[in-house]
Chain A
């Protein structure tokens, strides 16, 4: 079945640093979303990005569907960026199913 791999699994940054999180998927997908899960478990939508590039403040994302990967860029990181970042892809295998990667756990130090 389709696999979604995220890297790195863990990341520690100094406040103000930049980072790139990667999501690789093993098959063609219908869409892709990036989420940030806060310490209380809430999944917060960051980007809905089946292809192309989007930016929202200090965050931006790029999905290259033909090469089966997506990147999430965090610039000038802040302590509030800490948490787990997930990418989720939707595939159609006789029905639509969303598969999550294992996540990247980010800790930003003050």
Chain B
């Protein structure tokens, strides 16, 4: 069974631009969560989607948004990029909610210049 895939793997953007990251969960998994990893803040929860609905959201500004499609694939969008948005963005999928084991994708490394 294929694992979680994320595209693109690497991205360089300029301040003020926006970016869209994509995540395809493991086949049959219905929940997708997003995390941001930075050296200073560690791994932080962004949001979680289940059956196309956002179930929970972390403490991030409204510039960070996401959605989930009917096939469980998810996208996250960051608008008006700031230097501090440079990070590794990780997506995880799980079979169901709640409290199922999460499996992570390889991440998208975003650099904002």
A58 within 8 A of B: no
Which of B12-20, B67-75, B76-84, B101-109 binds A? B101-109
Are B98 and A90 within 8 A (Cβ)?
yes
A59-110 contacts to B, CB under 8 A, are 86, 88, 90, 92, 95-100, 102-103
Q: For chain B, what secondary structure do more than half of its interface residues adopt (helix, strand, loop), or is it mixed?
A: strand
Structural contact, B45 and A98, CB atoms closer than 8 A: yes
A30 touches B98 (CB 8 A): yes
Which residue from chain B places its CB closest to the CB of A101 in the assembled complex? Answer: B42
Please tell me the size bucket of the interface on B.
20 to 34
A56: interface (CB < 8 Å): no
Instruction: Give 22 A-B contacts (CB < 8 Å), ordered by A residue.
Output: A30-B99, A33-B101, A33-B102, A41-B37, A41-B106, A41-B107, A43-B92, A45-B103, A45-B104, A48-B101, A88-B43, A90-B98, A90-B99, A92-B98, A96-B48, A96-B56, A96-B99, A97-B56, A98-B33, A98-B45, A98-B102, A100-B44
Closest 4 pairs (CB-CB, A-B): A95-B56, A100-B43, A43-B104, A48-B101
B21 at the interface (CB under 8 A from A): no
Interfacial chain A residues near B99, Cβ < 8 Å: 30-31, 50, 90, 96
Contact of B106 with A96 in the complex, beta carbons under 8 Å: no
Contact with B58, one of A31, A48, A86, A97 (Cβ below 8 angstroms): A97
Assuming the contacts A100-B43, A103-B42, asked whether A35 and B56 have C-beta atoms less than 8 A apart, the reply is: no
